[in-house]
C-alpha cells in the first residue's frame, strides 16, 4: 500500500515516467536488434543487385513440356510457317535467283532477280526453260540445254524475220536516223515507259536479266518495236564494274564463253540481233570476239556496237562474217539533262543529212524518253525519217 500511496501522492506525470523506465530494454539488446535489422536490409539489397532476373517480383508460372520423340513434331493449328523458311527452298530449286549488279562509276548496287543459272545442277536448270513467246517462228529456234535459242533455217534469218516494218523505199531516198534505247528488262516500270511512250520506230535493247524479260520483250514487239538482246561483256574495271551473271570474259576459253552466250540467247526470243552490254575490254580483244561474232552470224543475227569503246574490233570481225552491223554515232544522254539531250539529237540530224544515216543510243531515263518522243514529232518537217535499226543497217550496207 505504501507504494500505492506514493504513486497517488506523487506530482502528476512523475509516476508514469518511472513506469516507462521500468520497461526500457537494455542498451546491448537494442544494439543487437539494430544489427539484425541492418543485416536483413543488406541481404535484400545484395539479392536485388546481384540476382540476374529482370522479372524479379513478377508472378511465375512453370509448365512441364513433354520431350518430342525423334521423328515426331507436333503441328499447331493455324500456324503457317514463316515465309523466310521457304526462301532457301526456292533458291535451292534454281527457279529464280537474285544477283547484285555493281555500277563501277557510281558504286550503286542493284539487286536483280534472274531466271535459272547454269550452276551446279544443269539438269534442273534445263527443266525450267523460259516460256515460249507469241509470234515466234518455231523454225528459227533450236533447243539448247538452257532453252530455245535462235537459229537460221529454211533460208530464213531472225535478222530479217524479226526486223520491224518500215517504208524502206522511202528511207532509201532521204536521210534516216535510228535510235536504240538499251538497258531494258531490269525494272519493269522504266521498261514499260520506254515501250509505251517511245515511237514504234525506236529499237529497244533488252539485257538478259530481270525476273521475266520475255514478257516485257513480248510487249515491246506487240507495240511494233524492234528488239535486240544485249550480251553482258567484260569491262575494263571488272569485277568492280560487274555487268552481271553469265558475263563473257577475256579469261575464259571460247567454249566457256559460247556456253554463256547460249544462256543469254535463251532468255527470250524474237530479237533481230545482239549488242554489247558494257564490254570495253572484251570488244577490244579480237581472239575472244571472233567466236562470239561467228556464232551470232551463223544463227542469222545482226550486231550493234553501242560505240562506247573506240578500240572495239566488232566492225572488222562482223565484216569478215558478212554480218549485218551498225555502230552508234552519238550517245544521246551521256549528260542526262534536257538541254544536252536536245543538243545530241540535233547533232544526229546533222550527221544524217551529211551521211544519209545516223544512229543514236540512249538509256530509258524519264528525261531521255520525254525528249526523244518530243523530238521525233519534228523530224518529218526537217526532212528526216526515223527508222528501226535494221532499216538503217540495210541502207548503210547498200550505200
Burial 365-390 (b: 16+ CB within 10 A, else e): beebbebbeebbeebeeeebbbbbbb
Angstrom distances, CA of residue 281 to CA of 201, 312, 370: 31, 9, 33
Q: According to the model, what pLDDT value does residue 396 have?
A: 82
- Rounded Cα distance between 336 and 343, Å, is 11
Give me 234's grid cell: 567484260
Q: Is residue 84 part of a domain?
A: no
Q: According to the model, what pLDDT value does residue 210 have?
A: 87
Q: How many domains does the chain have?
A: 1
Task: Please say if the pLDDT value at position 87 is more than 70.
Answer: no
Q: Is residue 9 part of a domain?
A: no
Q: Is residue 96 part of a domain?
A: no
Q: According to the model, what pLDDT value does residue 96 have?
A: 47
If you search the block for the grid coordinates 564494274, which residue do you land on?
241
Q: How confident is the model at residue 397 (pLDDT cuts 50, 70, 90)?
A: confident
Sign of CA dihedral 159, 160, 164, 170: positive
Q: According to the model, what pLDDT value does residue 39 have?
A: 61
Give me 263's grid cell: 544462256
How many Cα neighbours within 13 Å face the side chain of 279? 28
Q: Please name which of 148, 150, 361, 153 lies closest in space to residue 271, comparing C-alpha atoms.
A: 150
Q: Is residue 333 part of a domain?
A: yes
Q: According to the model, what pLDDT value does residue 395 have?
A: 92
- Model pLDDT for residues 217-274, shown as the tens digit of each residue: 999 999 999 999 999 999 999 999 999 999 999 999 999 999 999 999 999 999 999 9
Phi, psi of 72 (to 5 degrees): -110, 140
Domain of residue 360 covers 142-398
Q: According to the model, what pLDDT value does residue 66 have?
A: 43
Task: Please say if the pLDDT value at position 398 is more than 80.
Answer: no
The predicted model scores a pTM of 0.71
- Rounded Cα distance between 202 and 74, Å, is 61
- Give, for 204, the enclosing helix (H) or strand (E): strand 203-206
Q: According to the model, what pLDDT value does residue 64 have?
A: 46
- Model pLDDT for residues 286-318, shown as the tens digit of each residue: 999 999 999 999 999 999 999 999 999 999 999
Q: According to the model, what pLDDT value does residue 135 have?
A: 83
Task: Please say if the pLDDT value at position 3 is more than 80.
Answer: no
Q: Of residues 85 and 364, which shows the higher confidence score?
A: 364
Sign of CA dihedral 387, 388, 393, 395: negative
- Rounded Cα distance between 396 and 68, Å, is 77
Q: Is residue 339 part of a domain?
A: yes
CATH number at residue 198: 3.20.20.370
Q: Is residue 21 part of a domain?
A: no
- Rounded Cα distance between 312 and 307, Å, is 8
For the ranges 88-97, 186-195, 211-220, the lowest mean pLDDT is seen at 88-97
Phi, psi of 206 (to 5 degrees): -110, 140
Report the percent of the chain where pLDDT is more than 70.
66
Task: Please say if the pLDDT value at position 58 is more than 90.
Answer: no
Q: Please name which of 315, 325, 304 lies closest in space to residue 397, comparing C-alpha atoms.
A: 325
- Model pLDDT for residues 137-151, shown as the tens digit of each residue: 999 999 999 999 999
Task: Please say if the pLDDT value at position 381 is more than 50.
Answer: yes
Q: Is residue 234 part of a domain?
A: yes
Q: Please name which of 124, 107, 108, 125 lies closest in space to residue 116, comparing C-alpha atoms.
A: 125
Mean residue pLDDT across the chain: 80
Instruction: Characterise 245 by phi-psi region: left (phi > 0), alpha (psi -120 to 50), beta (else).
Output: beta
- Top-confidence range, 79-83, 99-103, 121-125, 206-210: 206-210
Q: Of residues 305 and 46, which shows the higher confidence score?
A: 305
- Rounded Cα distance between 103 and 163, Å, is 32
Q: According to the model, what pLDDT value does residue 82 have?
A: 35
Q: According to the model, what pLDDT value does residue 384 have?
A: 98
For the ranges 125-129, 149-153, 249-253, 360-364, the lowest mean pLDDT is seen at 125-129
Q: Is residue 152 part of a domain?
A: yes
Section 109-138 average pLDDT:
54
Amino acid at each position: 500500500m505504501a507504494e500505492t500511496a506514493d504513486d497517488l501522492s506523487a506530482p502528476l506525470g512523475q509516476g508514469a515516467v518511472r513506469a516507462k523506465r521500468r520497461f526500457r530494454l537494455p542498451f546491448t539488446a537494442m544494439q543487437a536488434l539494430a544489427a539484425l535489422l541492418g543485416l536483413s536490409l543488406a541481404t535484400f539489397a545484395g539479392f536485388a543487385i546481384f540476382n540476374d532476373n529482370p522479372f524479379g517480383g513478377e508472378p511465375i508460372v512453370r509448365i512441364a513440356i513433354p520431350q518430342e520423340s525423334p521423328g515426331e513434331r507436333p503441328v499447331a493449328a493455324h500456324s503457317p510457317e514463316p515465309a523466310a523458311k521457304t526462301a532457301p527452298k526456292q533458291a535451292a530449286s534454281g527457279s529464280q535467283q537474285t544477283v547484285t549488279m555493281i555500277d563501277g562509276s557510281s558504286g550503286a548496287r542493284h539487286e536483280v532477280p534472274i531466271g535459272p543459272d547454269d550452276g551446279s545442277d544443269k539438269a534442273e536448270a534445263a527443266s525450267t526453260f523460259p516460256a515460249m513467246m507469241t509470234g515466234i517462228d518455231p523454225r528459227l529456234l533450236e533447243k539448247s540445254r538452257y532453252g530455245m535459242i535462235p537459229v537460221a533455217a529454211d533460208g530464213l534469218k531472225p535478222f530479217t524475220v524479226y526486223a520491224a516494218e518500215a517504208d524502206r523505199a522511202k528511207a532509201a531516198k532521204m536521210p534516216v536516223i535510228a535510235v536504240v534505247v538499251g538497258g531494258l528488262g531490269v525494272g519493269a516500270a522504266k521498261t514499260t515507259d520506254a515501250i509505251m511512250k517511245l515511237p514504234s520506230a525506236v529499237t529497244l535493247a533488252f539485257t538478259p536479266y530481270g525476273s521475266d524479260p520475255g514478257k516485257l520483250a513480248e510487249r515491246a514487239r506487240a507495240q511494233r518495236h524492234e528488239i535486240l538482246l544485249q550480251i553482258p561483256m567484260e569491262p575494263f574495271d571488272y569485277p568492280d564494274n560487274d555487268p552481271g551473271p553469265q558475263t563473257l570474259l577475256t579469261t575464259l576459253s571460247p567454249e566457256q564463253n559460247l556456253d554463256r552466250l547460249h544462256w543469254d540467247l535463251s532468255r527470250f526470243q524474237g530479237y533481230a540481233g545482239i549488242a554489247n552490254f558494257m564490254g570495253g575490254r572484251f570488244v577490244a580483244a579480237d581472239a575472244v570476239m571472233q567466236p562470239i561474232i561467228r556464232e551470232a552470224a551463223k544463227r542469222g543475227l545482226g550486231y550493234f556496237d553501242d560505240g562506247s569503246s573506240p578500240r572495239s574490233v566488232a566492225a572488222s570481225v562482223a565484216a569478215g562474217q558478212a554480218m549485218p552491223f551498225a555502230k552508234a554515232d552519238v550517245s544521246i544522254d551521256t549528260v542526262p539533262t534536257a538541254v544536252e539531250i536536245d543538243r545530241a539529237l540535233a547533232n544526229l540530224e546533222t550527221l544524217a543529212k551529211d551521211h544519209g544515216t545516223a544512229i543514236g543510243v540512249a538509256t530509258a531515263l524519264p528525261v531521255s524518253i520525254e525528249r526523244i518522243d518530243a523530238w521525233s514529232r519534228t523530224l518529218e518537217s526537217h526532212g528526216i525519217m526515223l527508222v528501226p535499226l535494221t532499216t538503217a543497217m540495210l541502207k548503210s550496207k547498200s550505200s
